């Protein structure tokens, strides 16, 4: 079973349209969609926004639906000026920028018992690179910073970028990464850029959400065809 997870309905809607037929199951106040695609069994869901929602949904997909791999699809805001709206980027590692116990002498993003940066699965990343090459797409890679805040302020963006050397910022990825890492499930996180580093995130996001989400979703389904 392969799990495909997004944060919002818009991020999984293109996938549901592509698989066409699916069974809907309600559990833990959420909806999970079971489907078959390219000879693979899929469980598809959107978690709702935020780290807690994403962690709950990822855990259910693994523990209840027995997902052995997890692919995350969605959109994110650029921190690096080299990323433009519509660009695709997969995470090499992810961190939580809003974890802060620096009062006890620890670095930002750290709490005892977990590492600051959680690495994604190298085999899935290689499949993504092969998929991009075959589709003639430019696929970038970098560090994703996650936090329970929609980051609009330029000063906050710069702080996250400087502190963690992060390339994009969003609200779910690192929590999913922690769940998968602790449960021993290989995972992959893909983000399409919906707002640029120098732009007004609150304005760019709504305008480019649907188109960017579709780019990410179509790419993930192309990866499923190789699994």
Residue in 167, 195, 196, 204 annotated catalytic: 195
Q: Residue 125, exposed/middle/buried by CB under 10 A (0-12, 13-18, 19+)?
A: buried
- Is residue 123 part of the annotated active site? The answer reads no
Q: Which residue has the tokens 């590692």?
A: 93
**CA separation, residue 119 to residues 41, 95, 206 (Å):** 25, 9, 30
Q: What stretch of H or E contains 192?
A: strand 187-195
**CA separation, residue 148 to residues 23, 52, 80, 89 (Å):** 31, 9, 20, 21
Q: Residue 86, exposed/middle/buried by CB under 10 A (0-12, 13-18, 19+)?
A: middle
Residue in 11, 121, 167, 196 annotated catalytic: 11
DSSP summary character for residue 12: H
- Is residue 195 part of the annotated active site? The answer reads yes
Enumerate the active-site residues.
Answer: 11, 195
């Amino acid at each position: 079973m392969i799990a495909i997870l997004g944060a919002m309905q818009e991020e999984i809607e293109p996938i549901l349209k592509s698989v066409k037929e699916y069974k809907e199951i309600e559990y833990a106040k959420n909806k999970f969609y079971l489907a078959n695609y390219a000879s693979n069994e899929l469980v598809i869901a959107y978690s709702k926004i935020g780290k807690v929602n994403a962690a709950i949904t990822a855990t259910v997909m693994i523990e209840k639906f027995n997902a052995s791999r997890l692919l995350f699809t969605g959109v994110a805001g650029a921190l690096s000026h080299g990323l433009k709206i519509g660009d695709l980027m997969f995470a090499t590692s992810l961190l939580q920028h809003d974890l802060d116990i620096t009062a006890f002498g620890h670095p930002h993003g750290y709490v005892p018992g977990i590492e600051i940066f959680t690495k994604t699965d190298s085999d899935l990343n290689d499949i993504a690179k092969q998929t991009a090459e075959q589709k003639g797409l430019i696929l970038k890679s970098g560090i994703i910073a996650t936090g329970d805040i929609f980051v609009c302020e330029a000063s906050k963006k710069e702080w996250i970028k400087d502190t963690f050397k992060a390339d994009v910022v969003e609200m779910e990825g690192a929590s999913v990464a922690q769940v998968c890492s602790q449960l021993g499930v290989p995972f992959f996180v893909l983000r399409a850029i919906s707002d640029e580093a120098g732009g007004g995130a609150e304005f760019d996001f709504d305008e480019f959400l649907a188109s960017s989400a579709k780019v990410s979703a179509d790419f993930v389904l192309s990866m499923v065809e190789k699994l």
